[in-house]
Amino acid sequence: MDKYETLEIIGEGTYGTVYKVRHKETGAYYAIKKFKESDENQAIRKIAMREIRILKSLSHHNIVTLYEVFRRNKHLYLVFEYVEHTILSELEAHQNGLNPNQVKKIMYQLISAIKYCHSHNIIHRDIKPENLLLTQNGVLKLCDFGFARTLATLNGKYTDYVSTRWYRAPELLVGDNEYGKEVDVWSIGCICAELLTGLPIFPGDSDFDTLRHILSTIGGNLSDKQSNAFNSNPIYEGVKLPLPKKVISLESKFKDFPSNVISFLKGCFMYDPKSRKSCEELLKHDYFSNTFRASFEQELMELFNDDY
């Protein structure tokens, strides 16, 4: 850490803290994650090794770059690309939502980044505005894989709980631990709606309350597997599924959204993960017209070439 000047804390997580630092010789900025515990703690060491293995397998224009890993005074440090803004700060600056075309550009890059992760059998599991960074040129960079996991074997189960409640898919909220990459697609839908309105679409103050928001907006019923998981979850013992008195559908909730946006959101918000659109299908959805795809891909190529 001697070659860096620590400037501020930019993120606090369960297992570590992320600092904005300046390289003393070059003046360049970086984001450095310092793992909290000494790496002599076997549990932390295992978590850190899994995170580093995932990060080293990723190389994509829309995912922050890991430059270096080093160990000092029994602590592990990860040196990352520093990006000036987050989508959270963009939302704070645009309380009624961002320009629809800017949203489309952000969504196209987010889905491209997640499609890349999924093609490498990696689930991010914590997609939320503070984990989406935006460069001055409008390039989106996905960050913080502290909760990422490689897809479990076919019948694999995940034990730890994840993601930030408002962006959590119903299978996570009911406690079904046989979930897959579809949880990221649900979060993508949440991000899209929030970017367009400036407000979180399912702002629950608990997992149960988030489920209530979902059922009141999407209507219908959870999948049988999700209902069974809820009813057998000891956390919800004695509690009935929140059956909404009134459903305010997506069409009613977002009256001024074009039909292709509503259709895009419905593709992300299918209760049954197997019915949810994949990232590949979302990129082909007519939310992204052929004209948009052609012109934006050209724009991105020029932006990415400027990076080098």
Q: Residues 2, 39, 126, 209: which is the catalytic one?
A: 126
The verdict on 33 binding ligand TC0 (CB under 6 A) reads yes
Residues in the chain: 308
Distances from the Cα of 22 to the Cαs of 3, 19, 34, 80, 144, in angstroms? 9, 10, 15, 12, 20
Smallest distance, ligand TC0 to C-beta of residue 117, A: 12
- Using the rule CB under 6 A, give the single segment among 113-121, 141-149, 258-266, 298-306 that binds ligand TC0: 141-149
Smallest distance, ligand TC0 to C-beta of residue 80, A: 4
The verdict on 18 binding ligand TC0 (CB under 6 A) reads yes
The footprint of ligand TC0 on residues 65-84 (CB under 6 A) is 80-83
Angle, vertex CA 61, rays to CA 55 and CA 63, nearest 5: 35
Q: Which two tokens stand for residue 270?
A: 């299918």
H or E element at residue 21: strand 16-23
Smallest distance, ligand TC0 to C-beta of residue 114, A: 14
Smallest distance, ligand TC0 to C-beta of residue 247, A: 36
Task: Say which DSSP state 153 is in.
Answer: P
* Closest among 97, 86, 159 to 128, alpha carbons compared: 86
The verdict on 12 binding ligand TC0 (CB under 6 A) reads no
The residue type at 286:
D
Backbone φ and ψ of 34, nearest 5°: -105, 120
The verdict on 64 binding ligand TC0 (CB under 6 A) reads yes
Answer for which of 44, 98, 143, 250 binds ligand TC0 (CB under 6 A) is 143
Q: DSSP letter string over 210-275?
A: HHHHHHHHH-S---HHHHHHHHT-GGGTT------SS---HHHHTTTS-HHHHHHHHHH--SSGGG
> Torsion over CA of 34, 38, 43 and 49, rounded to 10 degrees?
50
CB-nearer residue toward ligand TC0: 80 or 116: 80
Smallest distance, ligand TC0 to C-beta of residue 136, A: 12
Smallest distance, ligand TC0 to C-beta of residue 167, A: 17
- Using the rule CB under 6 A, give the single segment among 3-11, 169-177, 277-285, 293-301 that binds ligand TC0: 3-11
Smallest distance, ligand TC0 to C-beta of residue 17, A: 10
Answer for which of 62, 86, 163, 216 binds ligand TC0 (CB under 6 A) is 86
Angle, vertex CA 238, rays to CA 178 and CA 167, nearest 5: 45
Task: Give alpha helix (H) positions in 3-99.
Answer: 42-56, 87-93
The verdict on 129 binding ligand TC0 (CB under 6 A) reads no
Q: Is 126 a catalytic residue?
A: yes
Sign of CA dihedral 130, 57, 112, 172: negative
The verdict on 139 binding ligand TC0 (CB under 6 A) reads no
The contact mask relative to ligand TC0 for 264-303 (x = CB under 6 A, - = no) is ----------------------------------------
Give Dmax over CA atoms of the chain in angstroms: 62
Answer for which of 76, 133, 185, 270 binds ligand TC0 (CB under 6 A) is 133
* Closest among 192, 102, 91 to 138, alpha carbons compared: 102
The verdict on 31 binding ligand TC0 (CB under 6 A) reads yes
Catalytic residues: 126
Residues of this chain that bind ligand TC0 (CB under 6 A): 8, 10-11, 18, 31, 33, 51, 55, 64, 80-83, 86, 133, 143-146
